[in-house]
Amino acid sequence: MKREISLKRETSETQINLQINLDGKGEANIDTGVPFFNHMLELMAKHGFFDLQIKAKGDIEVDCHHTVEDIGILLGEAFKKTLDEKKGIRRYGFAAVPMDEVLAQVAIDISNRPYLVYNLPIKNGKVGTLDIEVIKEFFQAFSYTAGFTIHINVPYGNNRHHVIEAVFKAFGRAICEAVTLDPRIQGVLSTKGVL
């Protein structure tokens, strides 16, 4: 069973093409028009061991909000469709990733129950051209569209770059664990029999 998909999203604000292979090697080719966000998505794919291609054109002359959020929507849709009925996957994933003074912790439940808990020691500012408050919008859009419960906690850290980078690495690692196929799991990992 191949766990890969190509999707497209077009609005009056963005045009996005996305390809993902959940059973890849962590290879990424990302062009969002927002260099730091490109870097974060590349890190996420690398540490999540999934192949990801994204080509996006958005109204970044206004700001990067629409582009970042719409990529979250489309990436969430890709995971939802690729995982389909969620049979045989571990469902839960957790990662704690340090980066110098930062420790990022991400827990995921592929439950069809979208929910985001997002606690970072920094709330605003920029890294490159990226307004860091839109990172929360990315994860919110992903969670809602994919149907994932996501907890992102960074208890300490003061370097914006380090905080955001550690979060994306931890998110990739947690996804990798949650989507891993486990031969011991018959059907879905739920006493209800469905997710």
> Does 185 map to a domain?
no
Q: What are phi and psi of 3, to 5 degrees?
A: -110, 70
Nearest in space to 52 (alpha carbons), one of 27, 17, 81, 16: 27
* Residue 186 in domain: no
* Amino acid found at 132: I
Domain-embedded: residue 57: yes
- Residues 60-74 have a mean pLDDT of 91
Closest CA to 50 of 98, 111, 93, 9: 93
Answer yes or no: are the C-beta atoms of 153 and 117 closer than 8 Å: yes
For residue 60, what pLDDT is reported?
80
- Residue 159: closest CA among 104, 84, 79: 104
Range of the domain at 33: 4-179
The better pLDDT of the pair 60, 3 is held by 3
On whether residue 166 sits in a domain, the answer given is yes
- The tens digit of pLDDT for each residue in 25-52 reads 999 999 999 999 999 999 999 999 999 9
Give the number of domains in the chain: 1
pTM value is 0.96
Question: Could you tell me if residue 156 is inside a domain?
Answer: yes
> Which pLDDT score, from 0 to 100, does residue 170 have?
99
Q: pLDDT by residue (tens digit) across 113-158?
A: 999 999 999 989 999 999 999 999 999 999 999 999 999 999 999 9
Which CATH number do you get for residue 111? 3.30.230.40
Residue 191 lies in a domain: no
User: In this structure, is residue 195 part of a structural domain?
Assistant: no
* pLDDT tens profile 73-100: 999 999 999 999 899 999 999 999 999 9
pLDDT at 47: 99
Residue 189 inside a domain? The answer is no
